[in-house]
């Protein structure tokens, strides 16, 4: 098991969280499994950017981003070099720390 640490976010996770995740699990599924309701407008098929997260530690634990993910990330709010789509990023054998952005760009709602 790897440890996923979620830094505090005012709405989604005010206290922050830390929990074990089975390797191979996407960050999105791991969060939803803990009732941290990250947006996932396209139902986790890399077709939106609402599941955008910042990886603050443990980037090397994650699978590489593919072209589809990179393309969607271009549309994300506040994208940074540490940005990943939570539905695409799968946790490996090392611990990971993420931060949830303060905003998302939900094109389906705009």
Query: In this structure, are residues 94 and 60 in contact, taking their beta carbons and an 8 Å threshold?
Result: yes
Total number of residues binding ligand FES (CB under 6 A)? 13
Task: Indicate the helix (H) or strand (E) that contains 68.
Answer: helix 67-73
Q: How many angstroms separate the Cα of 30 from the Cα of each of 66, 67, 78, 107, 109?
A: 20, 23, 23, 24, 25
Q: How far is the C-alpha of 57 from the C-alpha of 37, rounded, in Å?
A: 21
CB of 86 to ligand FES, least distance (A): 6
Query: In this structure, are residues 52 and 29 in contact, taking their beta carbons and an 8 Å threshold?
Result: no
Q: Which is nearer to ligand FES, 1 or 50 (CB)?
A: 50
Considering only 2-10, 37-45, 90-98, 99-107, which stretch makes contact with ligand FES by CB under 6 A? 37-45
**Considering only residues 51, 76, 89, 98, which one is a binding residue for ligand FES as defined by CB under 6 A?**
51
Does residue 47 bind ligand FES (CB under 6 A)? yes
CB of 32 to ligand FES, least distance (A): 10
Residue ranges that bind ligand FES, judged by CB under 6 A: 40-42, 44, 46-51, 72, 85, 87
């Amino acid at each position: 098991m790897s440890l996923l640490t979620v830094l505090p976010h005012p709405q989604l996770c005010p206290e922050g969280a830390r929990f074990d995740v089975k390797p191979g699990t996407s960050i999105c599924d791991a969060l939803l499994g803990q009732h941290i309701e990250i947006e996932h407008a396209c139902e986790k098929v890399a077709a939106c950017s609402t599941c955008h997260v910042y990886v603050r530690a443990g980037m090397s634990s994650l699978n590489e981003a593919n072209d589809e993910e990179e393309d969607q990330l271009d549309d994300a709010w506040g994208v940074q070099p540490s940005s990943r789509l939570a539905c695409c990023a799968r946790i490996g054998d090392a611990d990971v720390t993420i931060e949830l952005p303060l905003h998302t760009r939900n094109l389906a709602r705009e």
